[in-house]
Chain A
Amino acid sequence: MTPVVVRRPGPNGSPAAIAFHTALAVLAALALAGALFAVQGADPLAAYAALFSEAFGTMRGFGFSLVRATPLALIALGTVVAWRSGFGYLGFEGCFMVGAAAATAAALASAEGRMLAPLPSWLALALAMLASFAAGGAWAGLVGLVRTRLGANEVLVSLMTNYVGLLGVQYLISGPMRAPGGLPQSERVPSDVWLPFVIPGSRAHAGILLTVAAAGLVWFLLRRTPLGYELIVAGLNPAAARYGGIEVGRRVLLASVLAGGLGALAGMAELLGVQHRLVDGMGGGVGFTGVVVALLARLNPLAVVPLAVLYGGMTVGADAMQRGAGIPSSIAAILQSLIVLLILASERLRYYRLNPSLFRLGRDRAGAAPGRPAGP
């Protein structure tokens, strides 16, 4: 029997094929999650409409979507820098907490009567950002060092550092940074170093502006500078990079520092924009969802921000649906991950095509099969 699909020598890389298969994957994910709506007695189309109208239909909801998008996007940008440079960093949960802790420490130091109190508040805020970036950079840079100097696998090491980071923050808020009172949490940071709210009538804070700027900078670094070029070549093909005179180890180390810094800024934004005090578990898995956003963006920094807003919006909409219709909010996570999983699976589909001999209707059967050029 003639097979219906045949294997291609390589994946079909045409933009049309990629778009087609991606759309197919997204539709399949929407259909699967829609089935979950249907099981709960909700009309899937109406449910999707409600989900997205909550997230993007009102200024207040959109503001929440931006708030959720900010740490996702910063972590996704960190992922872009690291993974593009061939550094498989997965330690963003830890980075997030380290960045939040460093921002807390710097912000608290500017409170009444403390060391940095004389500084103007914008400078204190800038200092908190810088401290956060530096702490995260050092945190992830250590993993980079362990990889480039000792040849250790950065994936496993960075996964382990997550827990060291989480536990470290737990220690800080139950010990040195603990505020008076029953709960293990830090003092509230003074309100003049909060990230200012940017949309009246919503919770959206300046973190989203920082995120847009960071996306632009990452794009510029990777696409417009010789340094970014070296990072990308080192990531794609270390042998070719060395051949081209690129010092791969140094570039990977740099990427690890930048990625850690971006991941830490996510924690800073959540702290100075939303929580305003260091508490345990404030990340809530954002370190991994951010990586998922980066994957969805195909590691393209410019696609990161809109997709992070979309993913943040899904969470916001799902939360609202849980309050209203009683549909569990975790459906957002299902949708978010299914889309990426199915896109991954669809990449394998691009290795196949419909068997062309099916369309030749028996004509030239013998000659149709090999399809190879003749020998010399």
Chain B
Amino acid sequence: MPPPWSNERASDKDRSNLAVNPQGPPFLEMRGIVKRFPGVLANNGVTLAVGHGEIHALLGENGAGKSTLMQILYGFHQRDAGDILIEGRPARIESPKQAIALGIGMVHQEFMLVHSMTVVENAVLGLNLSIRRLLDLKRAAAALQALSDRHGLAVDPHAVVGHLPVGAQQRVEIIKLLYRDVRLLILDEPTAVLTPQEKDGLFAVLRRLARDGRSVVIVTHKLHEIMEVADRVTVMRDGRVAASVRTSETSPRGLARLMVGRDVALRADKQAVARGPAVLRVENLAARDAAGETRLHGLSLDLHAGEILGIAGVDGNGQAQLAQALMQLCPVTSGRVWIGGQDVTRLSPAGRRAAGMAYVPADRRHVGSVAELSMIDNAALGTQARRARAGGLIRDEGADRGFAKALAARFSVRAAHLGQPAGTLSGGNLQKLVLGREMMREPAILIVEQPTRGLDAGAVEAVWGELLAARAGGMAVLLISADLEEILNLADRIAVMSGGRIAGTLPAAHASAERLGLMMAGAPAPDAQPLAAVEASA
């Protein structure tokens, strides 16, 4: 049944069997796509073909260029070079509206839903902007019900979206696209927010859509899910296509190698350091994110002086909450934390800082620094009362300036002057400022989260050097990073996080990118040992 609003579209076509000539062109072809952002070549001659009725996985690490490619296809970004062909015809896609008119729809990782409205209101949103034309919600609801029944979506058109669980909201996004008669659905990390049961339901829906002749692109880095649902997989690495293969002709192991197996460009010069006593002990830590979702499920770990414990994992598996929970910056629901034998479970962020913790957050621009304030003021963040005179009542400007000056010199932060607002510093210099500020306090424990994300090679080298120097100086470093190369280069022990838990821990000597990639993707790691065993062997 055609949607009620599309009078002009070819509604005579039989939707239940989108007539396809198997010898004809694929539904979508992207050829030689190039996209350049300031300082980054995000897509470098990418080619992608998706056939009618095909479920196609787009695989790659963070920053491999898959999101950019999909945003070009959906009209969010404009390509610098290359062609897009829909059913063999060249297409111009300059806005999501044009993409939808061409039959391309996208389910973003962050759902584009209005929570206070019903499913049917969300579905018709934007289709009819006239004040004179009435909303025929009844008719639209009937159409949605029919779509829901036919594709097994189990969506109640009259439900208020905000009351639905996440999995159902995702199906609302899908039904919105089907209501617009989209022929190719792009799903960005569709399983990241789903329970295993919801995931199975989603895959069933996708298979049904494919049988219907519609095409599906799943952007993901979960290998076993690709093997489970996709027909073909295109692997991207560093803005290029590493391979495009049928899933029946590959294995998770092969895909992992394609995904992470790049040339290691940087090598850190790592000296052997004797491991000291355990300074941080965490037991059964559970925490929620800002939205109230539990992201950390009873995690335990030990961290020793003079070691770097790497926490590897795909983004969004609870790493951010681990760091925040250690600093008491997100709602902690259970668990205990000791620093050097002192129970700090109840201490505030300031209290934990005083007890010897320091933290370099992933978002150095919005959490780690205050963009509007000078380098001097940013250098003082967290120690603002320390250099004060008159019993902590008056800031000692000279001391603050001297501290910032020493910091800039020791960590070679390059800036025009110390009064420069932190927001105007380059990513690398800002990170050196934040890292330096935390290290200058000489904490016992340094938590660093994605320390080199978005930095150029020179800055990466500098940050790595500082982290190794901290380790050599006896600091205990918790390195949370989604970058395997970084973890492999720096860490003494590596713990892999998956689904808010530690999936396994390896001594660095036993780890390889391939093996970690498998563990990150949730595949069983037969010989990974529990934490205690690794401790014993280290």
Contact = CB atoms under 8 A, between A and B. Distances in A.
Q: Report if A and B touch in the complex (beta carbons < 8 A).
A: yes
Interface of A: 13, 224-227, 229-230, 232-233, 236-237, 239-240, 242-247, 372-373, 375-376
Contact of B370 (A227, A237, A372, A373): A237
Contacts of B359: 243
Contacts of A375: 36, 39-41
Contacts, number: 79
Contact of B394 (A13, A225, A376): A225
A229 B384 contact: yes
Contacts of B381: 233, 240, 243-244
Contacts of B366: 237, 239-240
A231 B79 CA distance: 45
Given A226-B392, A243-B381, 10 more contacts: A225-B394, A226-B384, A237-B366, A240-B381, A243-B359, A243-B368, A244-B381, A245-B350, A245-B382, A247-B350
Contact of A244 (B39, B382, B388, B392): B382
Nearest to B456: A376
A226 B395 contact: yes
B368 A376 contact: no
Nearest to B390: A225
Contacts of B40: 375-376
Interface in B367-389: 367-373, 377, 380-382, 384-385, 388
B348 A236 contact: no
A216 to B, nearest CB: 14
Contacts of B329: 242-243
A229 B370 contact: no
Nearest to A223: B395
A225 B367 contact: no
B478 to A, nearest CB: 16
A373 B37 CA distance: 9
Given A225-B393, A239-B366, A245 B349 contact: yes
Top 10 nearest A-B pairs by Cβ distance? Answer: A245-B350, A375-B41, A244-B381, A226-B385, A244-B382, A226-B384, A245-B349, A237-B370, A229-B384, A239-B367
A236 B370 CA distance: 7
Nearest to A232: B373
B388 A226 contact: yes
A224 B395 contact: yes
Contacts of B377: 229, 233
Nearest to A227: B393
Q: Most chain-A CB neighbours within 10 Å: which of B327, B370, B377? A: B370
B361 interface: yes
A202 B231 CA distance: 89
A320 to B, nearest CB: 41
A41 B234 CA distance: 77
A233 B392 contact: no
A247 B384 CA distance: 13
A364 to B, nearest CB: 19
B501 interface: no
Contacts of A246: 350, 384
Interface in B236-269: none
Interface of B: 36, 38-41, 327, 329, 348-351, 353, 359, 361, 366-373, 377, 380-382, 384-385, 388, 392-395, 397, 421, 424, 456
A243 B360 CA distance: 10
Contacts of A237: 366-367, 370-371
B395 A225 contact: yes
Nearest to B388: A226
A229 B380 contact: yes
A233 B370 CA distance: 7
A233 B381 CA distance: 9
Given A226-B395, A375-B39, A240 B384 contact: no
10 contacts: A13-B421, A225-B388, A225-B394, A226-B388, A230-B384, A239-B367, A240-B370, A243-B349, A244-B349, A376-B39
B416 to A, nearest CB: 12
Nearest to B42: A375
A229 B41 contact: no
A233 B373 contact: yes
Nearest to B382: A244
Contacts of A239: 366-367
Contacts of A244: 349, 381-382, 384
Contact of A236 (B372, B393, B424): B372
B367 A247 contact: no
B64 to A, nearest CB: 15
Nearest to B385: A226
A230 B394 CA distance: 12
Nearest to B363: A239
Contact of B327 (A13, A225, A243, A372): A243
A42 B370 CA distance: 50
A226 B390 CA distance: 11
A240 B38 contact: no
B388 A247 contact: no
Contact of B348 (A226, A240, A247): A247
A372 B38 CA distance: 6
Contacts of A240: 366-370, 381
Contacts of A225: 388, 393-395
A373 B41 CA distance: 11
Contacts of A227: 393
Contacts of B393: 225-227
B48 to A, nearest CB: 20
B349 A224 contact: no
A229 B395 contact: yes
Given A224-B394, A226-B392, A229-B384, A245 B370 contact: no
Nearest to A372: B38
A133 B207 CA distance: 70
A261 to B, nearest CB: 19
B330 to A, nearest CB: 10
A233 B36 CA distance: 35
Contact of A242 (B41, B349, B372): B349
A251 to B, nearest CB: 12
Contacts of B36: 372, 375
Contacts of B353: 245
Nearest to B34: A375
A83 to B, nearest CB: 14
Q: Most chain-B CB neighbours within 10 Å: which of A230, A245, A372? A: A245
B348 A245 contact: yes
Contacts of A233: 370, 373, 377, 381
A236 B38 contact: no
A219 to B, nearest CB: 13
Contacts of B384: 226, 229-230, 244, 246
B518 to A, nearest CB: 29
A144 B369 CA distance: 26
A237 B392 CA distance: 23
B196 to A, nearest CB: 33
A243 B382 CA distance: 8
A244 to B, nearest CB: 4
A74 B477 CA distance: 50
A181 to B, nearest CB: 50
Contacts of B368: 240, 243
Contacts of B397: 224
